[in-house]
Chains A and B, each alone.
Chain A
Amino acid sequence: MKYKDEIIRSMEWLGEKEDTIFLGQSVKYSGNAIYNTLKTLPEEKRIELPVFEEIQMGMSTGMALDGLVPICCFPRFDFILRCMDSLVNHLDKMQHMTEGTFKPKVIMRTSIGSKKPLDGGIQHTQDYTDPIMRMLHEVNVVSLNEPEEIFPAFEEAYKTDCSTLLIEWGDYYNEK
């Protein structure tokens, strides 16, 4: 299967789980590539949110504290910089701070913006994988480079007892 098809297969597999919920921008309304990977999921599994990344990240963590597995979607890696307090100071420190009592499981999706055929420009195409891997200690960071890596990565993200940030490549939606 191709890169995008593997993403869709993974989302459909996650969507079959009772405890999952998908949230973010363009999860319910078309507008970017993420929407096209979620549009086959039932409406009630998707919560479209305002543009408030900091709150989206923290809200997902709170939902995970109450037993759900949020799939928290950020259309571009650049936008994740808007939620660093909720991600780094809270989600990524919670197991340490609570001595393992709280282990919120949030599955985060983002994408390094594509440059072909349109170049999204410097604010929409950055790859922050290395710095964010150095900043995060409790959250797994996974780069999705090949189609065959995708489904096992999402499967592992769901089965593990911590949170995972999965990084897609926008250009691979067409190339691979």
Chain B
Amino acid sequence: MLRIPSHLEKTKEVTVTKEELISFETEVKARYENGTISAPVHLSKNNEDKLIEIFQYVHKDDWVFSSWRNHYHALLHGISQETLMNLIVRGKSMNVYSKEPKFYSSSIVGGIIPLALGTAKVQKMNGSKNKTWCFIGDMTFETGIFYESYKYAKNFDLPLQFVVEDNNMSTNTPTDKVWGGKRDVPGNVIYYKYDREYPHHGTGNWVLF
């Protein structure tokens, strides 16, 4: 299921296809397994349809913040396959970045949320029509830093749109078991569930460098 709040409006048609996304990650997998990427990779799979739907709401001039599993977000926000693959091969999979389009990712749980709050604050101060999008996992959603940032953004009506991607796993820890349950996701947050296909990092196959 995918839940998109009714206040959001589509800004474009996404031209990147599901097949292109899967093909890109398959190529990353191959390059990782043949030893040409000597840094961790966090591969996406099974959430293509949902992300393609979500990115119809993301304007090309919006900020997008993501985590260590960011390849799909980067491609869908307009970073070219060539640029992204170049970053990944140079060991930058966990911190993909771009000035145009505006994209930043971090491999520390929750670390991007205050950054996103800051860009959203400036957008509001400047009267900009653009938004800041912040993609987080279900464990990050449960952290205190999310709740404080969410509360501040909501109370000051900042253009910060959170997206919770729920695979119920943080690395290899099941979120619901360790928290003894999960909280309800607020209605103004985009939310979807999916089952991950790849492990937390790597491809599931032993790689010799």
Binding site for B on A (CB under 8 A): 50, 52, 54-68, 85-86, 89-90, 97-98, 101-102
Is the pair A65, B145 in contact by a Cβ cutoff of 8 Å?
A: no
Q: Which of B95, B99, B115, B120 contacts A61, CB < 8 Å? A: B115
Binding site for A on B (CB under 8 A): 63, 92, 95, 97-99, 104, 106, 108, 110-111, 113-123, 145, 148-149, 152
Is the pair B121, A102 in contact by a Cβ cutoff of 8 Å?
A: no
Is the pair B114, A86 in contact by a Cβ cutoff of 8 Å?
A: yes
Given A90-B106, A102-B97, A102-B104, CB of A55 within 8 Å of CB of B149: yes
Could you say which residues of chain B place their CB within 8 Å of the CB of A62? 114-122
Other CB < 8 Å A-B pairs besides A85-B111, A86-B114, 6 of them? A55-B113, A65-B118, A97-B95, A97-B97, A97-B106, A101-B98
Given A59-B114, A89-B108, A90-B111, CB of A65 within 8 Å of CB of B152: no
Interchain nearest-CB distance for A114 vs B (Å): 29
Given A52-B148, A55-B148, A98-B97, CB of A85 within 8 Å of CB of B117: no
- Roughly how many angstroms separate A57 CA and B99 CA in the complex, as a whole number? 21
**Main DSSP-derived SS at the A contact region:** helix
- Roughly how many angstroms separate A66 CA and B120 CA in the complex, as a whole number? 9
Interchain nearest-CB distance for B113 vs A (Å): 7
**Main DSSP-derived SS at the B contact region:** helix
Is the pair B121, A58 in contact by a Cβ cutoff of 8 Å?
A: no
Q: Which of A58, A68, A89 contacts B117, CB < 8 Å? A: A58
Interchain nearest-CB distance for A59 vs B (Å): 4
Could you say which residues of chain A place their CB within 8 Å of the CB of B111? 58, 85-86, 89-90
B160 and chain A: residue at smallest CB distance: A62
Could you say which residues of chain A place their CB within 8 Å of the CB of B95? 97-98
A44 and chain B: residue at smallest CB distance: B125
Could you say which residues of chain B place their CB within 8 Å of the CB of A97? 92, 95, 97, 106
Interchain nearest-CB distance for A72 vs B (Å): 10
Could you say which residues of chain A place their CB within 8 Å of the CB of B113? 55, 58
Interchain nearest-CB distance for A9 vs B (Å): 26
- A-B contacts, 25 of them at CB < 8 A, read A54-B145, A55-B145, A55-B148, A56-B114, A58-B118, A59-B114, A59-B115, A59-B121, A61-B114, A62-B115, A63-B118, A64-B118, A65-B115, A65-B119, A66-B63, A66-B118, A66-B123, A68-B122, A85-B111, A86-B114, A89-B106, A90-B115, A101-B97, A102-B97, A102-B99
Could you say which residues of chain B place their CB within 8 Å of the CB of A57? 114
Could you say which residues of chain B place their CB within 8 Å of the CB of A90? 106, 108, 111, 115
Interchain nearest-CB distance for B106 vs A (Å): 6
Interchain nearest-CB distance for B62 vs A (Å): 12
Interchain nearest-CB distance for A51 vs B (Å): 10
B122 and chain A: residue at smallest CB distance: A66
A83 and chain B: residue at smallest CB distance: B114
Which of B95, B97, B120, B122 counts the most chain A CB atoms within 10 A? B122
Interchain nearest-CB distance for B111 vs A (Å): 5
- Roughly how many angstroms separate A89 CA and B111 CA in the complex, as a whole number? 8
- Roughly how many angstroms separate A90 CA and B104 CA in the complex, as a whole number? 11
Is the pair A63, B104 in contact by a Cβ cutoff of 8 Å?
A: no
Is the pair A59, B123 in contact by a Cβ cutoff of 8 Å?
A: no
Is the pair A63, B121 in contact by a Cβ cutoff of 8 Å?
A: yes
Could you say which residues of chain A place their CB within 8 Å of the CB of B63? 66
Which of A66, A85, A98 counts the most chain B CB atoms within 10 A? A66
Is the pair B117, A55 in contact by a Cβ cutoff of 8 Å?
A: yes
B105 and chain A: residue at smallest CB distance: A97
Interchain nearest-CB distance for A4 vs B (Å): 30
Is the pair A61, B118 in contact by a Cβ cutoff of 8 Å?
A: yes
